[in-house]
Amino acid sequence: MAVLSIALLLCLVFVAPWAICAARVHRRFTIRTQNVARVCNTQTIVTVNGRYPGPTLRVHEGDNLVIDVMNKGPYNITLHWHGVKQIRSAWADGPGYITQCPITPGTKYTYNFTITGQEGTMWWHAHMTYLRATVNGALIILPRHGKTYPFPKPHAEFPIILGEWWNANVENVLADAIRRGGVPNDSDAYTINSQPGDFFPCSANDTTRFMVERGKTYLLRIISCAMIHASFFKIAQHKMTVVAVDALYTKPYETDVLVIQPGNTMDVLITAGQESGRYYIGTRVYNSQPQGFEFLNTTTTAILEYHDSTNTSAPVLPDFPAFNDTPTAFKFSTELRSLNASVPQTVDEEMFITEGLALASCPNNSCAVINGGRPLGSMNNISFVLPEISILQAYYYGIDGVYTTDFPDNPPLVFNYTGAVPMGLWQPDFGTRVKVLKFNSSVQIVLQNTGILTIQNHPIHLHGHDFYVVGQGFGNYNSQTDPANFNLVDPQLLNTVGVPTGGWAVIRFIANNPGVWLMHCHFESHSELGFETVFITENGPGNSESLPPPPRDLPKC
């Protein structure tokens, strides 16, 4: 007790009272291109501080982060701090044309925000075009000084970023797809900390290795930066205990397989309790589409190696679920439980959002790639169109003509969403239509996947808020019978939910963070194709519940 109060006293003496024990963390990110060799190919990629993955930021809850971003690369860029709620700092959230205009080549912007009441594994990534494939890194938020994890302290921690590599410039991959009117080509490999692993001959010498001591427990901080697929993740002969997802603590959940959606982070404990040796950590696709859709079916590996291992034979490989093992994915996501939940029990705003792909017709077959059209993404049948100045700026300054506030609460038509949808319903409308939320309103959204083009699992990410996933199921959501099965006691809190393939998920949150918040599919090509929408949360009554003015260096369009 005595020690504690002395520590607290020191903090109070040395920093301003509003930031008891918090520190100012100042970092500089320089964005530039460089040549990097992976998967038998040298490629020019965009990096941060010359690193791929980019630098890991390790900070404490309560810290104020000041990150100067200098764009020395050739493309417009923005950075997003995935999972950070940005309480009263929406100007630092980062999605291009939503909360800011891009940082143009040769210019800089300082992201300034405070981490309040959040701890665990988050990450940062580019939030424009396809740049996040190479511009990404871990953001680790440790408990405030003097506080501990709600689980025994691990011996060591390893950040693990699951990514994808193209033997091509990713900006060209996206531009080609837009020109063709299609979806971007699949990547050439999946990666663990930027390495595809032993099954890719040119990379085998550099396979990512994690050295462990027998009998010790380790915390894996796993981040999925995958661009267009969910992943199964296993470690040969080692069980894992999930203790947090999306920087939100879970009741400890023991499993031998993780199912990770793009955008999700998972904190997982493992004990090096096997015979000394080398074990593969492996990841490959969870493919939720029915047969006939192509995907990259390779396995990516890293190695868990015991310090005293003398064994030089090939590591043991884990057995994976089948690529299309939806029951395993559903079991994993529905069995997770929040450690401390406080679920909104009543609802002020109810929305039902159909979401999935759509197909735009092409005059004279000019862009026909599938069934005479080009694929798009939509929510409530609206394919979102990015404006030319940011929505947050337009909102804050009252600039007309940038967006409309008529994003609908329901789809324009009731149909059999997950069945064989008639072609006549595949065509979306276009618009920059947003939904306005009253400060402190309790919001429930049914996210209903559609079967347009294909049924598929979609990872839906909401900026500025975490949400409870109170229910999930297959087929069409039934508002009469499904609420009876909601978990309003201890459902998992997340910022990205994998809506089950051919199914639905129901989320609840309190809109208590004034600002402009994107919600989108974290499959990058889908959001690029308009699979997104925007919420504007109004100011609350007090100054401390209102969005402050923008920083002076906010980029202009």
The site for ligand C2O (CB under 6 A) is made up of 80, 82, 95, 125, 127, 263, 461, 463, 518, 520, 522
Is-contact 282 257, C-beta < 8 A? no
User: Nearer Cβ to ligand C2O, position 221 or 463?
Assistant: 463
Least distance between ligand C2O and beta carbon 512 (Å): 20
Q: Which of 274, 354, 285, 355 is nearest to 322 (CA)?
A: 285
Least distance between ligand C2O and beta carbon 236 (Å): 30
The residues facing 70 across adjacent strands are 30, 108
DSSP letter for 425, please: G
Burial class (CB in 10 A: 0-12, 13-18, 19+), 427: middle
What one-character-per-residue DSSP string does 288-343 give? Answer: -SPTT-------EEEEEEETT----SPPBPPPPPPTT-HHHHHHHHHH-BBSS---
What is the helix (H) or strand (E) element at residue 445, kind and residue range?
strand 441-449
Least distance between ligand C2O and beta carbon 170 (Å): 16
Least distance between ligand C2O and beta carbon 12 (Å): 36
User: Nearer Cβ to ligand C2O, position 38 or 82?
Assistant: 82
Phi, psi (deg, nearest 5) at residue 65: -100, 130
Q: Which of 81, 107, 109 is nearest to 95 (CA)?
A: 81
Q: From CA 469, how far away is CA 330, in angstroms rounded?
A: 13
Least distance between ligand C2O and beta carbon 32 (Å): 22
Phi, psi (deg, nearest 5) at residue 163: -140, -170
CA-based end-to-end distance of the chain: 54
Least distance between ligand C2O and beta carbon 225 (Å): 8
Q: Are strands 258-260 and 209-212 parallel, antiparallel or unpaired?
A: unpaired
The angle at the Cα of 160, spanning 244 to 526, to the nearest 5 degrees, equals 80
Q: From CA 43, how far away is CA 165, in angstroms rounded?
A: 10
User: Nearer Cβ to ligand C2O, position 93 or 305?
Assistant: 93
Least distance between ligand C2O and beta carbon 99 (Å): 10
User: Nearer Cβ to ligand C2O, position 38 or 520?
Assistant: 520
Q: From CA 94, how far away is CA 116, in angstroms rounded?
A: 18
Least distance between ligand C2O and beta carbon 522 (Å): 6
User: Nearer Cβ to ligand C2O, position 208 or 533?
Assistant: 533
Minimal CB distance to ligand C2O: which residue?
82
Least distance between ligand C2O and beta carbon 519 (Å): 8
Least distance between ligand C2O and beta carbon 496 (Å): 7
User: Nearer Cβ to ligand C2O, position 95 or 502?
Assistant: 95
Q: From CA 108, how far away is CA 68, in angstroms rounded?
A: 7
User: Nearer Cβ to ligand C2O, position 126 or 554?
Assistant: 126
User: Nearer Cβ to ligand C2O, position 127 or 433?
Assistant: 127
User: Nearer Cβ to ligand C2O, position 61 or 532?
Assistant: 532
User: Nearer Cβ to ligand C2O, position 229 or 461?
Assistant: 461
